[in-house]
Structure 1
Amino acid sequence: MIDNAFALLTLSVLMHVAWNVMTRLADPRANFLWWGLLAHTLIFAPWAITSLVIEAQWNAELIIALFFSAVANVFYFFALRRAYHLASVSFVYPIARSSPVLIALWAWLLFDEQLGLWGMAGIFLSISGLWLLAKVDPGERTVPAMKWASLAAIGTSIYSLSDKVAVNYLPSFSA
C-alpha cells in the first residue's frame, strides 16, 4: 500500500512540475495554460458539477466559499501566467507556491487558529528561502515577476481557505 501511495505521489509531483515547465516554455500566443484549463474543465466538469448540485449541503456559507474560490482561482491563473512571461519557473514557482505562509496568516486572522513553535519555524524557514531566491536571481525582470508571483500566492491562499470552508458541506470527493 505504501509503495502505491509513494508511486502516486511521485507521479503527481512529476505531473505538476511538467505542467508548470510547459506553461513557462510554451509560446505565449499559444495560451497553453488556458487550453490546459479548458481541457480539464471539459473532462471533469460534467461529473463534478452534477455531483456538486446533487450532493452538496447548500447554504449561504458554501455559496460564498465557492464564489471566493472561483474568483481566487481565476486571479491565481492570470497572475501565474503573467509571472511566467517575466521570469523562469525556478524563480516564479517557489514564490507562487509560498501560499502556506499566507494560509497560516489568514487562518490565524480569520479562524483564530494558532501556530506552534514548529509552524513558526517553518514559516521563518520559508520566508528566508524566498528572500534568498530573490537575491540569487537579481535580473531586471525578476522584480515585476516577483510581484505577479506574489499575487499568484495570494490567490492560492484565498482559494485554499475557501476550499477548507466549502469541503465541510461536500460529502464526497466528486462533489
Structure 2
Amino acid sequence: MEVAAVIIVVFSALLHAGWNILGKSNQGSGSAFFLASGSAAALLLTPYLFWYSMTLGIEKIPNAFWMLVFLSGIFQIVYLIGLGMAYKQADIGAIYPMARALPVLMVGFGTVLIGYELSVNQWLGFVLITIGCLFVPLKSFRDLRFKAYLNLGVLWALIAAIGTTGYSIIDKEALLLLDPLSTSAITNKHTAVFYLGVQFWAIVVPLGLWLLVTNQKIEFDSAWVMRKRATAAGIMMAATYGLVLFAMTITENVSLVVALRQVSIIFGVVMGIYFLKEKWHMTRGVGVVLIITGLVTSLI
C-alpha cells in the first residue's frame, strides 16, 4: 500500500471519528440526522456532478456503473441507520469500534471471493483487529462471555458492519468501471469526487422515499430543525469518504483500505471520553492495543 494512500486514509479516519461524535451527540432520529447530513453533502456536490458529466460525457458511463451506485446507496443506508440505532443503545466507545472493525474480516472474505489475494500477515492482522473489538464494549474482563454481546446495540452495530462491507466492495468495483474513461482533464481524483456526489444522492433519494412511503413525514421536519449540525456532519462525511475513494483508486485491494480505516477506532474512543464524558475501562485499553497491533501487522 502506497505511503500517500496511508496518509490519506489516516486523515480521513480522523474526520470519520469526528462526524460520528456529532451523530452520537444528536438527540433526534437517526433517519432524520442522516437525511439532513446526506442531503447537505449531495446539494453541495451537485454543481460538480454537472461539470463532470458535461466534461466527460454522461453517455460514456456504462449502465453497470449506475446499478452498482444504486446497490451501494442501499448498503450505505443500512450502515447509517444501523449506526444511528446502535448509538441509541450504547456508548460510542463500545459501538464505534465494533461497527468499524467487524467489516475488516467481512471485506477480506468478500475480496477473496471476487478474486483478490491476501497474505498470511494480512489475515492475522484482520483477526487481531476483530478480537480487539470484542474487548472494547466490555466494562470488565469478567464480562467476556457470549451473553455480553446479546444486546440491541451490538445487533445494530453488526447490521451497520454488513452495510459497510457491502458498499466498500461495491464502490471499488464501480470505480474500476470508470477508470478506463480517465483523460488528461478527468483524472482519478475527479472521478472519486464525482462518485462521492452520486453516492450521496443514491443515499438520500431512497431514504427520503422510504420515509414518505412509511408515512414518517415528521422526520423531514426533524431534519430541518437539526440542519446546521447535520450540515457540518455532512461536510465531514463527504470529506472523509471522498479521501477513502481516492485512496481506493491508487490501491489494488480494497480490504487494505478498510483495515487501515480502523485507526478511526482509536480516535473515536478518545473523542467519546473527552467530548461525551464516556468512561474508560481497562478492557477498552486492551482492545485498542490489539487493534493497533492488527493494523500494523496487516500493513507490513
List aligned pairs for 1:94-133, cutoff 5 A. Answer: 94-98=97-101, 99-109=103-113, 111-133=114-136
Q: How far off is 1:41 after superposition?
A: 1.4
Q: Answer with 57-66 or 132-141: which moved more.
A: 132-141
Residues 75 and 155, structure 1, Cα contact 8 Å, conserved in 2: yes
Task: Give TM-score scaled by structure 1 length.
Answer: 0.81
Letter of the aligned partner of 2:153 in structure 1? A
Q: Any idea what the Cα deviations from partners look like across 1:17-44, whole Å, max 9, x if unmatched?
A: 2211111111125843332222111111
Task: Specify the alignment match of 1:34 in structure 2.
Answer: 35
Give distance in 2, aligned partners of 1:61 and 1:131: 38
User: How has the CA–CA distance of structure 1 residues 156 and 29 changed in structure 2, closer, same or farther, with 3 Å as cutoff?
Assistant: closer
Aligned CA distance change for structure 1 residues 165 and 38 (closer, same or farther; 3 Å): same
Q: What is the match of residue 15 of structure 1?
A: 15
Gap regions ≥5 residues in structure 1: none
Number of residue pairs aligned between Structure 1 and Structure 2: 170
Structure 2: 5+ residue stretches without partners: 183-190, 195-300
Contact residue 84 and residue 92 of structure 1 kept, 8 A: yes
Q: 1:105-141: CA deviations, max 9, x gaps? A: 11112x1222211111112101211222244476989
Deviates more, 1:149-158 or 1:22-31: 22-31
Matching residue of 1:161: 169
Assess if the C-alpha contact under 8 Å between 2:98 and 2:133 holds in 1: yes
Distance between the aligned counterparts of 2:21 and 2:9, measured in 1? 18
CA contact (8 A) 2:95 2:137 kept: no
CA 1:118–1:77 in 2, change beyond 3 Å: closer, same or farther? same
* Partners of 1:76 and 1:151 within 8 A in 2: yes
Contact preservation (8 Å) 2:107, 2:169:
yes
Query: 1:47 Cα shift?
Result: 1.5
Q: Aligned runs of 1:67-146 on 2, under 5 Å? A: 67-98=70-101, 99-109=103-113, 111-136=114-139, 143-146=151-154
Larger Rg: 2
